[in-house]
Amino acid sequence: MESLFPDLRCCEYPTSPDVHLGHAVPIIIASRFQRMGHHVVFIIGDVTAKIGDPSGRSSERPTLTDEDIARNLSGYQQQVTPFIDFERADLRFNGEWLNKVTLPELVGVLARVPVSMSLQREDFRTRLAEGQGLSVAEFVYSVVMAWDSVAIDADVELGGVDQLLNLQMCRKVMEISDQAPEVVITTPLIEGTDGTGAKMSKSKGSYVGLTASPDDVYGRLMSIPDHLTEPYLQLLTEWTDDEIRVVTKRLEEGTAHPMAIKRILAGEVVAALHGLDAAAGARAEFTARFSKRSFGDTQNLPAVSLKDHAEDTLGALISRTLDFAPSISAVRRVAQQNGLRLIRESDGGQQTTQLTEASVQQALSEVVSKVGTLDGVELYLKVGRKVARIDA
């Protein structure tokens, strides 16, 4: 069947080496279009990344070097391959055409774009009102980005709702270039796993990475607050609106348990990223880890040696050695939320010691001394929903 929209544009800008589920929302929509027979053009913004679109930030995004961009680009295609079949899609870099744009061409387009279009951005108006910097490069970012749509003569473009004004500029520049303006489809910004209302963010540790292990993806989704279950089902799964309404009603009536629905959600996301077998394994691992009293029944727990890491601070051990948190600040937040614990297991059962924020800066040996000798016992460190064994 011939596609109604032969060129569907979906873009990523290599400002980070990792793609997470927040970035994936428009990509998931693009995958549905592709399955319906539409032609997807996945554009990597290797040139526009140098400009630094702040995308609602209160300050200018740091400019990336060629080395930064190359490093960030190295795994992009692999990370989105679970959603996009690149045997039937185009992967393009906007340097193909932007590096060839001449100054007369750029000035010719800029002369026909009203300044008021860029000044619709609230973050730009706020920064100007406060006397903060706003570079000319940022000001023309959306015009340069719009060249991508012109280059491929796009029919449809997908992007997050925070990109709406940039996408409107794409339509304007296509008009200037005597092309039919593309149809713009925006997707909601997915809320971070911490449930604070802020969008998913790696810097805040409230994200699920596409390269994360099946166990990690499953565990992170099982830990989300209950109120995020419905929007996550809407944005990350293939459930229909009617199916989601039925489940939401059952949750409200108390005839469905939130954890049961999260298991389905987590399983479907892991299956999309890693396959059905990995999803089944992650579910079994999660059940063993959090539904049984003994962590000794759990396989594949990471372990650290007290002998080798005695002088390491707990924060450094968690964030760097175990990679359980993106930063020591994130470890502190876990402690503030009472999610940092030592668990001592023996034949007599479990003994849990709550760790305070102050323990994050203490050496591991000092922290472990709080629970006494390790003779004849197993010791585990619990960070939120992640668990590691501490060997003597």
In-domain check, residue 208: no
In-domain check, residue 164: yes
Contact 199, 191 (CB under 8 A): yes
Point out the domain boundary residue: 291, 325, 356: 291
pLDDT tens per residue, range 93-128 = 889 999 999 999 999 999 999 988 888 877 788 888
In-domain check, residue 386: yes
CA distances from 323 to 49, 255, 303, 314, 339 (A): 28, 38, 12, 12, 16
Contact 170, 149 (CB under 8 A): yes
Range of the domain at 327: 303-391
Considering only 113-122, 303-312, 369-378, 383-392, which range has the smallest mean pLDDT? 369-378
Radius of gyration of the chain (CA): 24
**Claim to verify: residue 28 and residue 145 sit in the same structural domain:** yes
* pLDDT computed for residue 384 by the predictor: 83
More confident residue, 249 or 45: 249
Residue 234 burial (C-beta neighbours within 10 Å; 0-12, 13-18, 19+)? middle
In-domain check, residue 222: yes
In-domain check, residue 209: no
What is the CATH classification number for the domain harbouring 321?
A: 3.10.290
Point out the domain boundary residue: 291, 322, 353: 291
**Claim to verify: residue 124 and residue 86 sit in the same structural domain:** yes
What is the CATH classification number for the domain harbouring 240?
A: 1.10.240.10
Number of domains in the chain: 3
pLDDT tens per residue, range 170-229 = 999 999 999 999 999 999 999 998 888 888 887 777 889 888 899 999 999 998 989 999
Write the single-letter amino acid at 319. Answer: S
CB atoms < 10 A from the CB of 109, how many? 20
**Claim to verify: residue 284 and residue 314 sit in the same structural domain:** no
Residue 242 burial (C-beta neighbours within 10 Å; 0-12, 13-18, 19+)? exposed
* pLDDT computed for residue 268 by the predictor: 95
**Claim to verify: residue 19 and residue 162 sit in the same structural domain:** yes
pLDDT tens per residue, range 54-67 = 544 444 455 667 77
- Dihedrals φ, ψ of 209, to 5°? -75, 145
**Claim to verify: residue 114 and residue 25 sit in the same structural domain:** yes
* pLDDT computed for residue 61 by the predictor: 52
How many Cα atoms occupy the beta-carbon half-sphere of 143 within 13 Å? 22
In-domain check, residue 297: no
What is the distance, to the nearest Å, from the Cα of residue 185 to the centroid of all Cα atoms in its chain? Answer: 20
* pLDDT computed for residue 58 by the predictor: 43
pLDDT tens per residue, range 19-48 = 889 888 999 999 999 999 899 998 888 888
CA distances from 10 to 13, 17, 61, 234, 379 (A): 10, 18, 21, 20, 48
Considering only 203-207, 213-217, 231-235, 251-255, which range has the smallest mean pLDDT? 203-207
pLDDT tens per residue, range 158-178 = 988 888 888 999 999 999 999
CA distances from 249 to 194, 204, 228, 237, 258 (A): 24, 32, 15, 18, 12
In-domain check, residue 34: yes
**Claim to verify: residue 27 and residue 158 sit in the same structural domain:** yes
**Claim to verify: residue 49 and residue 122 sit in the same structural domain:** yes
* Rounded (5°) CA angle 183-184-185: 120
Ramachandran region of residue 300, left (φ > 0), alpha (ψ -120 to 50) or beta? left
**Claim to verify: residue 324 and residue 377 sit in the same structural domain:** yes
Contact 28, 83 (CB under 8 A): yes
- pLDDT band, very low/low/confident/very high, at 373 (cuts 50, 70, 90): low
**Claim to verify: residue 239 and residue 125 sit in the same structural domain:** no
Q: What is d(CA 266, CA 233) in angstroms, rounded to the nearest whole number?
A: 10
Q: What is the pTM of this model?
A: 0.70
**Claim to verify: residue 28 and residue 172 sit in the same structural domain:** yes
**Claim to verify: residue 373 and residue 245 sit in the same structural domain:** no
CB atoms < 10 A from the CB of 102, how many? 8
Q: In the structure encoding, which two tokens stand for residue 206, read together? A: 């409230």
Q: Which of 151, 139, 147, 149 is nearest to 53 (CA)?
A: 139
Q: Which of 214, 207, 247 is nearest to 16 (CA)?
A: 207
In this prediction, residues 297-306 reach a mean pLDDT of 77
Q: What is d(CA 86, CA 94) in angstroms, rounded to the nearest whole number?
A: 17
Write the single-letter amino acid at 327. Answer: S
**Claim to verify: residue 34 and residue 140 sit in the same structural domain:** yes
Torsion of CA 339, 342, 344, 345, to 10 degrees: 40
Instruction: Give the whole-number percent of the chain exceeding pLDDT 70.
Output: 86
Q: What is d(CA 189, CA 244) in angstroms, rounded to the nearest whole number?
A: 19
In-domain check, residue 2: no
